[in-house]
């Protein structure tokens, strides 16, 4: 998309100082190429043949640009860095990814997330906050109604998360801040996201209302793990796209176990199962064999016969993933004969045992 060229200049200052980035993998200094990755769908949507039947059909107008957050815990480091997958680094990306999801499902806004990546290595984490004038300029230049970014500070076990929301209509910056730690983290972040939605004029539906939807915000007990899973899925997506190093798949089994654990912890949250399938497909796309270890668990979860098992619609895709031609065709024909959703049926028709899975990726 070529978005936020000036943001690129802000965080890496390659043109001014040719700053060196620190690669914590091998403790060597490198100057990698630079890309801006744009996502306008949930990160688990990528890799599944564009399953738009999982998304609400809405006429969207209000444009919201979400820029990855900065880690001001790194204030003693002069340059942006390419981090190993630690929790604070993931949060700089997973909070924006979470906001992308909630805005897609709980508003008529048109959100997208922009994440800076060092080509062939991984996401870049900056420790430098942009000023209010910069947010105003970005909004004006790209005709955005809102621009959101923020910062994260980890002090011991205490997280301080500050979200800044620029409104083009009011030409002001609002701040939503939370300080949290430990068992309070999930509930504090849920309340923080609710406050951000309120600033954007799109309240979060009640828990009762969410229970009627395909998508609902994870419970407090699973919220931290879900944020971590979003960050892990993003890394898998970047690797399949070829813009991050395959070294980012270290701990791949733990990644898939994370997705599976969420699906088992809350069987009513269908998105956890979608996340598991998406992670398995990304694993396969990287020519890994680890996804095969989760075959039976995934098929068992998706095969549950109850009215709330919306994720059952993914079964033909999973059968196809494992080359189970007869099972895939049988399940595909059954679903085509019983489901009237035209968007879903069009998606289902793409699944061919002669042309195994291919899918859209986050855009540059």
pLDDT tens digits, 66-76? 999 999 987 65
Residue with tokens 């991984």: 122
Query: Do 12 and 61 share a structural domain?
Result: yes
Query: Do 195 and 279 share a structural domain?
Result: no
Query: Do 279 and 183 share a structural domain?
Result: no
Residue 288 lies in a domain: yes
Query: Do 276 and 192 share a structural domain?
Result: no
Query: Do 263 and 121 share a structural domain?
Result: no
| pLDDT above 60 for 185 | yes
- The last residue of one of the domains, among 146, 178, 210, is 210
When pLDDT is averaged across residues 79-104 and rounded to a whole number, the result is: 85
When pLDDT is averaged across residues 243-267 and rounded to a whole number, the result is: 89
Residue 160 lies in a domain: yes
Query: Do 20 and 130 share a structural domain?
Result: yes
- The last residue of one of the domains, among 185, 210, 235, is 210
Mean pLDDT of the chain: 87
Residue 80 lies in a domain: yes
pTM confidence score: 0.89
Helices (H), the chain: 5-12, 14-17, 87-106, 132-141, 185-199, 207-210, 220-241, 252-265, 270-285, 295-303, 315-321, 325-338, 342-349
* Per-residue confidence (pLDDT) for residue 86, from 0 to 100: 73
- The last residue of one of the domains, among 151, 184, 210, is 210
Residue 151 lies in a domain: yes
Please state, in angstroms and rounded to a whole number, the distance separating the CA atoms of residues 108 and 119: 33
Residue 276 lies in a domain: yes
What is the band of 79 on the pLDDT scale with cuts at 50, 70, 90?
Answer: low
Retrieve residue 20's tokens: 């060196």
| pLDDT above 90 for 6 | no
Please state, in angstroms and rounded to a whole number, the distance separating the CA atoms of residues 285 and 266: 27
Query: Do 287 and 160 share a structural domain?
Result: no
Query: Do 284 and 138 share a structural domain?
Result: no
Retrieve residue 359's tokens: 């899918």
3-state secondary structure (DSSP) of residue 130 = coil
When pLDDT is averaged across residues 118-132 and rounded to a whole number, the result is: 88
Cβ contacts of 304 within 8 Å, gap of 6 or more: 267, 312
Query: Do 58 and 201 share a structural domain?
Result: yes
- The enclosing domain of 133 has a CATH number of 3.40.50.10070
3-state secondary structure (DSSP) of residue 329 = helix
More confident call, 121 vs 83: 121
Residue 332 lies in a domain: yes
* Per-residue confidence (pLDDT) for residue 244, from 0 to 100: 84
Retrieve residue 306's tokens: 């109850």
Residue 61 lies in a domain: yes
Residue 227 lies in a domain: no
Query: Do 277 and 142 share a structural domain?
Result: no
| pLDDT above 90 for 4 | no
List the single range of 32-46, 138-152, 177-191, 201-215 with lowest mean pLDDT: 32-46
Please state, in angstroms and rounded to a whole number, the distance separating the CA atoms of residues 82 and 32: 10
Q: In which domain, by residue range, is 263 found?
A: 251-349
Query: Do 75 and 201 share a structural domain?
Result: yes
Question: What separation in angstroms does the CA of 13 have from each of 76, 125, 316?
Answer: 17, 13, 47
Number of separate domains in the chain: 2
């Amino acid at each position: 998309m070529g978005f936020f060229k000036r943001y690129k200049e802000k965080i890496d200052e390659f043109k001014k100082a040719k700053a060196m980035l620190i690669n914590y993998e091998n403790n060597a200094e490198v100057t990698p190429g630079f890309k801006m990755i744009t996502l306008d769908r949930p990160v688990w949507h990528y890799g599944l043949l564009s399953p738009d039947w999982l998304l609400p059909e809405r006429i969207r107008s209000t444009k919201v640009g979400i820029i990855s957050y900065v880690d001001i815990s790194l204030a003693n480091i002069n340059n942006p860095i390419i981090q190993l997958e630690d929790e604070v680094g993931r949060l700089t990306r997973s909070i924006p990814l979470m906001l992308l999801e909630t805005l897609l499902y709980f508003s008529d806004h048109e959100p997208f997330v922009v994440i800076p990546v060092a080509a062939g290595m991984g996401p870049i984490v900056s420790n430098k906050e942009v000023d209010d004038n910069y947010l105003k300029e970005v909004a004006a230049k790209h005709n955005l109604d809102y621009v959101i970014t923020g910062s994260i500070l980890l002090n011991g076990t205490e997280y301080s998360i500050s979200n800044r929301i620029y409104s083009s209509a009011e030409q002001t910056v609002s701040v939503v801040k939370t300080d949290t730690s430990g068992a309070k983290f999930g509930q504090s972040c849920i309340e923080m996201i609710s406050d951000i939605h309120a600033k954007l004029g799109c309240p979060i539906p009640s828990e009762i209302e969410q229970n009627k939807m395909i998508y609902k915000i994870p419970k407090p007990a699973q919220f931290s793990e879900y944020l971590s899973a979003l960050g892990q899925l993003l890394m898998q997506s970047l690797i399949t796209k070829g813009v991050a190093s395959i070294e980012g798949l270290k701990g791949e089994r733990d990644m898939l176990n994370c997705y599976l654990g969420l699906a088992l912890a809350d069987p009513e949250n269908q998105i956890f199962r979608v996340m598991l399938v998406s992670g398995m497909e990304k694993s396969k796309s990287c020519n890994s064999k680890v996804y095969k270890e989760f075959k039976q668990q995934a098929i068992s979860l998706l095969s549950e016969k109850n009215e709330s098992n919306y994720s059952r619609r993914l079964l033909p895709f999973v059968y196809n993933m494992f080359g189970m031609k007869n099972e895939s065709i049988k399940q595909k024909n059954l679903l085509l004969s019983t489901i009237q959703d035209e968007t879903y049926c069009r998606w289902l028709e793409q699944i061919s045992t002669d042309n195994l899975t291919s899918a859209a990726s986050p855009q540059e």
